[in-house]
Amino acid sequence: MTTTPIDLFVSALQFRPDGDVRAAERQMTSSDSGAWQITTFHVETDIDVHADHWEMHPEAEEAVCCLTGGVRLYFRATTPGGAEDMVQLQAGTAVIVPRGRWHRLELNAPSDLMSITLRHGTRLEKRTDTH
């Protein structure tokens, strides 16, 4: 095996059930690879983090890590008419998004983020409550 640097802002790392780790094309929606994916990305605006959509991973938790900058991670209310929960992430912090929990991001500043999850079954849903 040849060892060469992998640009994490271009490729994802996939950790496969058989123990293999591979650089692969980034998958931000559902993937049938069966691999856990680590994806790192630079974001400048709310559009870059699809703030107008809710996201949910039904088959695994997700670690959302803020490497630089700052973001707000919102959890959709679990009861009709309930309030969203919000967690502030500053550089060097992370939050674990529970399996099956709808969530979204908004930026405080341009940021470098890392997402670690099993993408199989990932769903996006357009927000209807945008202002």
- Tell me the pLDDT tens digit for each residue of 39-86: 999 999 999 998 999 999 999 999 999 999 999 999 999 888 899 999
Q: Is the pTM of this model over 0.75?
A: yes
DSSP 60-116: S-EEEEEEEEEEEEEE--SSTTPPPEEEEEETTEEEEEPTT--EEEEEEEEEEEEEE
Domains and CATH numbers, the chain: 11-126 (2.60.120.10)
pLDDT at 30 over 80: no
